[in-house]
Chains A and B, each alone.
Chain A
Amino acid sequence: MLIKKPQDLTYKDVTPKGAYANRRNFLLGLLATTCAVAGWKKFSYLVSGPGTGSTPVKLNGVVKGPYGTTEKETSFNDVTHYNNYYEFGTDKGEPAENAKNFVTTPWSVSVEGEVKKPRKFTMDEILKLAPLEERIYRHRCVEGWSIVVPWIGYSFSTIAKLVEPTSKAQFVAFESYYEPKQMPLGLSAGIPLPYVEGLRLDEAMNPLALLSVGMYGATLPNQDGAPVRMVIPWKYGFKSAKSLVKIRFVQSQPPTTWNIANAHEYGFYSNVNPNVDHPRWSQAKERRIGEFLRRPTLMFNGYGDQVASLYNGMDLKKYY
């Protein structure tokens, strides 16, 4: 058997010092490049700000509705660039950019559950069920900021009466559209999706509860919940589900998204209440977008005359 003598390594086989050092420089270069790219992305975002969003279409024949406030409206630009719409990103500037290409046609809403006449409403039908009213509502977010928005729509009770809830119907669940292909960021939102919110039937039938199809004289921009959403002005904003696809009348209190995510912080009722703090911050005051100093938060967001009677005898600290 022939055993080859191993070839000895000679001094000329030693990796040149330069090449050896190069490996370290290469790693360093890689690190520096990664940092530079990440840094540049951050800076370009810092300089340019968020995107522009979708283009709403003017709505005709809108009449002045009841319950409006005379407070100064928040600018359209602020209302469309400061959004909590976690399906399109958890940063408030993100929905304007990421909802740009959200497809909202064709659209229909299925109304079902404990009703005599369950049916699907197309968007065209929804727009014609009742005269469209403009209602200027205060909108208070659980995070401590607020806006004033001229919504367009009609009372939710209009659609409820058409499907005729049975005597078993005690609650209403509102479900938002969710499709990970259109909303890839929803996967990392940290909340269960599709988004579901709910009301007691008598809350939903209160004329203040608005089924909204527009704002500022036109259809809803995608990032504000196009094409149709709820607006419940005496509750924290997250109770008003966006981009509705399903409305279910049910017997018992439905599980709701933020309550599932963190029951300790977000109750089923979530009425605006300056006397009941969020566990991590006070709810006594709010920052109205566009104003510098915080203003006091009003009980039921200032809609006590219309809704306080719904909660007679209830301990609002317990049912937060």
Chain B
Amino acid sequence: MNSILTSKWTKVVVFLLCLLPLGMLVIRAVQGNLTANPIEFITHTTGDWTLRFLVITLAITPLRKTFRLRQLVRFRRMLGLFAFFYACLHFSTWIGLDKFFDWTEMWKDVQKRRFITVGFTGFVLMIPLAITSTAGWIRRLGGKRWQMLHRAIYLSAIAGVIHYYWLVKSDVREPLQYAAMVAVLLAWRLGSWIYGRGQRQDARGSPQGEITTAESA
């Protein structure tokens, strides 16, 4: 399994798979098949995929540890950046197509409409993570601080779910599905942190006391 994961072709395939949702949108746009309300459809599709990529990114560490697939981490940055990529498409659809660059109206919305406020917050929180996603920035910040900063993805994911939940009129099934997934993934982290702390305390004083925590982002 790990040998498949380390192949450079796997990365290429995953990259192309991540572009599929955008590809589908383009194909449907060319066909004139974006439903009766294309702007709404594009907004919803890019929003959905932002949430999906956030969930997939958050799933990497739990999957990696549960199934001992160390090499999965090779995809984490790319998947996180795809979440940001679809968030950018979602955000620019709102600016350019939905509101047509009506900045005063948009600023009013950000302040007045809480589902927009929380969605906007989640998006803004992703910007520093995207910027500092390079190896150079990890070095500059140092592993510990970089990791602290990148925990902001938890907030982005939570904000994304709330954004969706506050947006729907009555059928909350889909937002609740995302909420459940994010909750499980964050609970796993909390659980492993508590477990890890117990282990560290047990190990204190013994020569092998240093348990590597650098990996558990």
Contacts and interface: CB of A to CB of B under 8 A. Distances in A.
Does A associate with B in a complex?
yes
Interface in A51-85: 77-79, 81-82
Given A28-B67, A190-B171, A46 B24 contact: yes
B170 A190 contact: yes
Interface string A193-226: 0000000000000000000000000000000000
In this complex, the interface size class of chain B, counting residues with CB under 8 Å from chain A, is 20 to 34
B24 A82 contact: no
Interface in B154-188: 166-167, 169-173
Given A46-B45, A78-B36, A81-B36, A262 B170 contact: yes
A7 to B, nearest CB: 32
B170 A43 contact: no
Contacts of B27: 47
Contacts of B24: 43, 46-47
Contact of A43 (B20, B33, B37): B20
Most B-side CB within 10 Å, residue of A188, A280, A294: A280
5 contacts: A43-B20, A47-B27, A86-B171, A190-B171, A280-B115
A320 B167 CA distance: 20
A281 interface: yes
Nearest to A188: B173
Interface string A11-32: 0000000000000110110000
A46 B20 CA distance: 11
Interface string A267-310: 00000000000001110000101101110000000000000000
A178 interface: no
B171 A188 contact: yes
B107 interface: no
A144 to B, nearest CB: 9
A92 B100 contact: no
Contacts of A190: 169-173
Given A43-B24, A47-B27, 18 more contacts: A25-B1, A46-B21, A50-B35, A77-B36, A79-B36, A81-B35, A81-B36, A90-B170, A92-B36, A145-B40, A188-B171, A261-B170, A262-B170, A280-B114, A280-B115, A287-B40, A289-B37, A293-B100
A189 interface: yes
Interface of B: 1, 20-21, 24-25, 27-28, 33, 35-37, 39-40, 45, 67-68, 97, 100, 105, 109, 113-115, 166-167, 169-173
Interface residues of A, number: 35
Interface string A236-276: 00000000000000000000000001100000000000000
Across the A-B interface, the 4 shortest Cβ-Cβ residue pairs: A190-B170, A82-B36, A78-B36, A90-B171
